[in-house]
Amino acid sequence: MNGPLEGIRIIDSTTMVAMPTALHLMGDMGAEVIKVDSHTLYRGEGSLFPDGKPGPRYWDQDASFNALQRSKLGVTLNLRAQEAVEVFKDLVRVSDVLVENNRAGAMDRLGLGWEDLRRVKPDLVYLSNTGFGYTGPWRSYAGIGRMFELTCGLSQFTGYPDEGPCRVGAAFFDLHVGWTAIFALLAALEHRNQTGQGQWIDFSMYQIGVATMGDALLDFIANGRNGARMGNTHPYYAPHGVYPCKGDDQWVAIAVETDQQWEALVQAMGSPPWAQDDRFADALSRWKHREELDRFIAQWTASYVHTELMGLLQALGVPAGAVYNAREELLDPHLKERGFFEKVAHHPEAEIGTRVYVGRPWRMSRTPAFIRRPAPMLGEHNELILGDLLGRSEEDLAELYDLGVLGKEPANQQPPGRGQSVERQIEQGTVAAYDPDYKKLLGI
Amino acid sequence: MFFSGLISTSGMVGSSMATPFGNYRIIDLSQGAPGAFCTKYFADYGADVVKVEPPRVGDETRRTGPFFHDDPHPEKSLLFLYLNCNKRGVTLEVGSPSGQELLRELLGKADVLVESAQPGYLQSIGLGYEELERLNPRLVVTSITPFGQSGPHRGYQGNDLVYYAMSGLMYTSGAYDREPLKHGHPQSLYMGGITAAYATAAALYAREADGRGQHVDLSLAEATAAHHYTAISRYSYAGLIERRAPKVEGGSFKGAGFEGIVPAADGYIGPSTQQGRQRGTLAEFAALTGHPEIDAPQFATPQQRQERAAEFDALVLPLLRQMKKYDFFDAAMADGWVAGVVQTQEDLARCPTLHERGYFAEVDHPVMGKLMFPGELFRLPGAPWSLRRPAPLLGQHNGEIFCGELGYTRDDLVLLRQQGTI
């Protein structure tokens, strides 16, 4: 079946996380996304290989790269060569969208800026993603997702109330910015369909991240208030936190929002005498006495398995969730039934096998999205794109390979080391556990 | 207004230029932040969004702070204001037959319905997707619920904390030996909103091919879980389960390898080991801070710094604590490092970059008055953002829409109001 974005051709000249995420999702939705790589540049983070062992084609095996570049075709173009710039322009002529995330001005220096390319393709939608935008005093600063937590204002709220700000274990604003980019590109395509005009979009990760803090920003503007660390507490609900469960590092989150939910929680706890105390009689007094309340609840939760407690509380209508780790998420029956994770079989030459990736947080009833293909191996679609799509002859291609414009293996091979042993990682606490039978558990 | 400095307006004037979603009518029946954030994107880029609220009480965000001058008045929620500018508003009781009739009439002419009812509720009142498809085959229906329309957890109660727990994000956030931690601002709700916005825009794009709408079923828990993809890869590639910050004997987990958030003289900073796409060296970092003593051989590699974290922290953290946060940030960023500075709301409200980029507008609200307003998300030069109207008062456009567009009479409106339908 066709995806919703069938018929859109996109050139992906991006790195890092935010824009590759936007474009792999558009690929999942049926757009034809052509990832422009170079065999002369470092590919991927080189941090995680199948079973921790880099194979002969290690450059095609990086887990992050493969998660971020799925559903795309791949060509290699060494843009330092003028011939590559010409091929790039040919590609622009037959495409609808170009997305890039070089530092401000870098594409202009290559002759691939908006002013250059609008002459080649007047109705092109061209999005430049930078950390802080093309204007303003921070325009030359580089940005990466995990620093925007701090700069966009989120970190001042995040952390234990008795300590300074704390980072969250994901490059948080990358996905938000990527998802916003999909919206922006679809808005620009809509505009093109109505007016016949393309445009250049100066996308700033910073500005888009700040937009998730709008109400907090207005709190300062109207009330002069700055936020502080909240831990897992809520500004007006209690109990609201994570509580220990049976086993090592097992927790359940409980977040009570109404009197009805509170009564259900009390019932679940077997109506202990302390719960009848005036201190917990209504929402206001529960919130005022939330620390004592948390201590009582933590004593009760400690004898339960976290998932069992979640089921028990949810059956009574109390918002509760087990604190999942990656294995628990992957094996969660609900996510399984909804197909949130997808299995992808890689090309045999890449020696990756079948791996599981995160799908999308939504389903469309008529134009389903799915992972269309594994991430491309380096230069995998050079012949398809340059030959079949752009009409270059075999001789042309051979010459481009000779000139080093195209390549299928890295120009500078630097096989990565094995990294730290699993035992050492567990000892240092960088990982919680290792499941030797993970493939069996995942069915891959 | 408390904060009256620095106002650079991108204008309160309506734009006569084409706006990308100017031809679309969106009915926002959702409650709370996610649906409203979704339709905010469409309203900001031109769509005619009608916010439908329950009579008398209105949307739940009207009862959610922060409030203007800390006055918990239904027209003074700053959250509601932020999420609902550029929209019109009506009231309508979905539980009553005459309310349902009004809703059907609205949906007959609409392009999108955004809703957040418990799975099964709209079917139970004859407004499930199949009925709506018969009513208006072009309609895109976007359902935003905690766990989606299918699966064993579809009836579960969800909220920000529960999504963080079940997404795996909490398990990998916080200190090694303390409880898992969520983000301190309800980010999952915003993440759900932008996800709904792009998925809805994609469904509208698909409709151009054959004129048919469809049902978009979104799970807020999954929108949060999508952020956990690196930990998922780690398990799926090597069977490893990621956890919160590494164990650091005696040292501060935050200082280890200077990858954390650490105190500066007047706030907090995020030092960095990255210069562009490469790792910077310790010598370069030492030069940046003006403290050559940081460049000691026993700390040369990230592994050494982690293994001797307590010692490294004891050396470096007091030196960083003497620097002012923007002095460090600007020096590092100008030198090509990728660093961070923990900004407060005040910092953001005064940020020269945001002002120079025209991020702030001025809203003129009938109850709150004039207020500096965080505005343009991104600029489409062919169709710039504009602030066309403030957030609607409760039921403000009942007459305009029910009488002006659906053909009800003023007498009908009075009756519907007295009967509690609107």
| Domain boundaries defined on chain B | 25-171+183-226+357-418, 262-341
Superfamily in which the B25-171+183-226+357-418 domain is placed by CATH = Crotonobetainyl-coa:carnitine coa-transferase; domain 1 (3.40.50.10540)
Residue of A nearest to B18 (CA): A191
Mean pLDDT of chain A: 94
Type of residue at A213:
M
Q: How far is CA A321 from CA A172, A239, A240, B367, in A?
A: 21, 14, 12, 40
- Residues of chain B in contact with residue A25, where contact means CB-CB under 8 angstroms, are 198
Residue A402: left (phi > 0), alpha (psi -120 to 50), or beta?
alpha
Q: Kindly state the tokens that stand for B186.
A: 């309800």
Question: Is-contact B88 B48, C-beta < 8 A?
Answer: yes
Positions of A marked catalytic: 174
Q: Which CA distances in Å does B323 have to B274, B296, B350?
A: 20, 20, 21
What is the fold of A240-324?
A: formyl-coa transferase, domain 3 (3.30.1540)
Contact A227 B212 (CB under 8 A): no
Q: Using CB atoms, which residue from B160, B171, B198 is nearest to A179?
A: B198
Q: Per residue of chain B (422 residues), give pLDDT as tens.
A: 444 444 433 433 334 456 899 999 999 999 999 999 999 999 999 999 999 999 999 999 999 999 999 999 999 999 999 999 999 999 999 999 999 999 999 999 999 999 999 999 999 999 999 999 999 999 999 999 999 999 999 999 999 999 999 999 999 988 888 999 998 899 999 999 999 999 999 999 999 999 999 999 999 999 999 999 999 999 999 999 998 877 665 445 444 445 688 899 999 999 876 666 566 788 888 888 899 998 999 988 777 877 787 888 888 889 999 999 999 999 999 988 889 999 999 999 999 999 999 999 999 999 999 999 999 999 899 888 889 999 999 999 999 999 999 999 999 999 999 999 99
pLDDT band per the 50, 70, 90 thresholds, residue A107: very high
Task: Tell me which DSSP letter residue B385 carries.
Answer: -
Percentages helix, strand, coil for chain A, rounded to the nearest 5?
40, 15, 45
Does the structure's ipTM exceed the value 0.85?
yes
Hey, are the CB atoms on B206 and A367 less than 8 Å from each other? Answer: yes
Instruction: Chain A: give the shortest CA distance to residue B231, in Å.
Output: 6
Contact A333 B339 (CB under 8 A): no
For residue B278, give the 3-state DSSP assignment: strand
Q: pLDDT tens across B131-150, in order?
A: 999 999 999 999 999 999 99
Query: How far is the C-alpha of B76 from the C-alpha of B72, rounded, in Å?
Result: 7
- Closest residue of B to A133, CA-based? B357
Domain ranges in chain A are 9-212+338-442, 240-324
- Choosing among 3.40.50.10540, 3.40.50.300, 3.20.20.60, 3.40.50.720, the CATH entry for A9-212+338-442 is 3.40.50.10540
Nearest in space to A327 (alpha carbons), one of B220, B168, B148: B168
Chain B stretch 349-368, residues whose beta carbon is closer than 8 A to a beta carbon of chain A? 349, 352-354, 356-357, 359, 368
Q: At A360, list the tokens.
A: 């999308």
Whether B182 contacts chain A with CB within 8 A: yes
Query: How far is residue B90's CA from residue B290's CA, in Å, rounded to a whole number?
Result: 60
Nearest to B45, CA basis, from B67, B24, B76: B24
Interface A-B: count of C-beta contacts within 8 A: 545
Whole-angstrom Cα distance, residue B48 to residue A168? 37
